[in-house]
Amino acid sequence: MDLDAKVGVLLPTVRAQWTAGDDPRQVVRLAVEAERLGYDSVWANDSVLTPRIEALTVLTAAAAMTERVTVGTATLMPVTRRPVNAAHSLASLDLLSGGRLVVGVGAGFPGRFGVPLHRLSEVPWERRFARLDETVALWRRLWSADEPVTFHGDVLQLDDVPPTIRPHTAGGPPIWLGGSTPAALERTGRLYDGWLPYPPRADDYATGLKVVQQSGRDVTSALFVSVAITDSLAEGEDRLRGYARTNYGMDLEDLRTIQAVVAGPPSHVTEYLRAYVDAGATHLVCRLAAAGLDDYRRQLELLAATVNT
């Protein structure tokens, strides 16, 4: 079934997604395969807390080996990088991809992944949202500047920063915000180019999107969702249980309270995804619930056949 939405896939960059004997270099070749199968985008997520290929590194390699697909971060954690260095890296990637970069960003959330990430990055957890917004504002200034930039925000204080190399995209690549709290919705509509949440219910997505759209700005509406195609619902549930334990260290029932996840026969998966498209999602970023790179490749083929028929 044609979902009338763009569909992309998260590349399996995390070591927990590989099995014995997998060659990590195949991750980039999977981006090429995704383009061949008709996907619109390939994505990489970002963390220093679990072993994985660094997001901008793998996307640069993927961009060099593809011609059409968008390459994106879902999501990048700017707190792990110096703001000026990150602006340089992102501008370089956008330039080398010919303007195919989308930068999804997040500020982290309390618990297992948030505070420890800030501690390792030697950045205070407090005022993380202001730091993120100011980092993005600084990037945009640097991507458009011809003269040294002075930036004095509430968190970032920088003087006479040399402008970075110009990205391919005028003004810099689009920046999408992940998050669905009331504050994140308001900031998305006011400051960002796209919205990339993962609410577990389509009606929650519709409600959040209405808030984002109140700004009147043109904001891309995307969805991050974990997906697997299986022969039966029971097999899908078993697959998702293993996926939740391996990738998140939690039970499937707990994961379902915070994230969009679906597995089962093609008709079940399309019905689930269709509900989000009907709620306003125009770009689906799918994390394939796969165990090993061969299994990922099979899921890549199955999902392509599901959403394109």
Percent of the chain with pLDDT over 70: 99
**Residues 181-217 pLDDT 10s:** 999 999 999 999 999 999 999 999 999 999 999 999 9
Q: Note the pLDDT of residue 206.
A: 98
**Ramachandran quadrant class, 264 (left: phi over 0; alpha: psi -120 to 50; beta: rest):** left
- As a whole number of angstroms, the distance between CA 220 and CA 98 comes to 20
Specify the pTM.
Answer: 0.97
Q: Note the pLDDT of residue 202.
A: 98
State the DSSP H helix or E strand holding residue 221, giving kind and residue range, or none if neither.
strand 220-229
Region 277-303 average pLDDT: 98
Token match 């219910």: residue?
A: 201
Q: Note the pLDDT of residue 87.
A: 98
Work out the mean pLDDT of the chain and round it to a whole number.
Answer: 96
> CB of 60 within 8 A of CB of 31?
no
- As a whole number of angstroms, the distance between CA 250 and CA 90 comes to 33
Q: What tokens does 120 get? A: 């390792």
On the question of pLDDT at 218 being above 90, the answer is yes
Q: Is 122 helix (H, G, I), strand (E, B) or coil?
A: coil
**Residues 219-262 pLDDT 10s:** 999 999 999 999 999 999 999 999 999 888 899 999 999 999 99
pLDDT-wise least confident of 41-50, 104-113, 123-132, 163-172: 104-113
Region 252-275 average pLDDT: 97
DSSP single-letter state for residue 52 = B
Alpha helices by DSSP H, listed for 181-283, are 182-191, 202-213, 233-248, 252-255, 266-278
**Residues 79-119 pLDDT 10s:** 999 999 999 999 999 999 999 999 999 998 776 678 888 89
Q: Note the pLDDT of residue 223.
A: 98
Domains along the sequence of the chain with CATH: 6-307 (3.20.20.30)
On the question of pLDDT at 1 being above 70, the answer is no
- As a whole number of angstroms, the distance between CA 175 and CA 192 comes to 6
- As a whole number of angstroms, the distance between CA 9 and CA 304 comes to 10
b/e sequence 191-228, b meaning 16+ C-beta within 10 Å: bbbbbbbbbeebeebbebbebbbebeeebbbbbbbbbb
Q: Note the pLDDT of residue 183.
A: 94
Q: What is the 3-state secondary structure (H, E, C) of 28-41?
A: HHHHHHHHHCCCCE
Q: Note the pLDDT of residue 41.
A: 98
Q: Note the pLDDT of residue 112.
A: 67
Which amino acid is residue 80, in one-letter code? T
> CB of 293 within 8 A of CB of 30?
yes
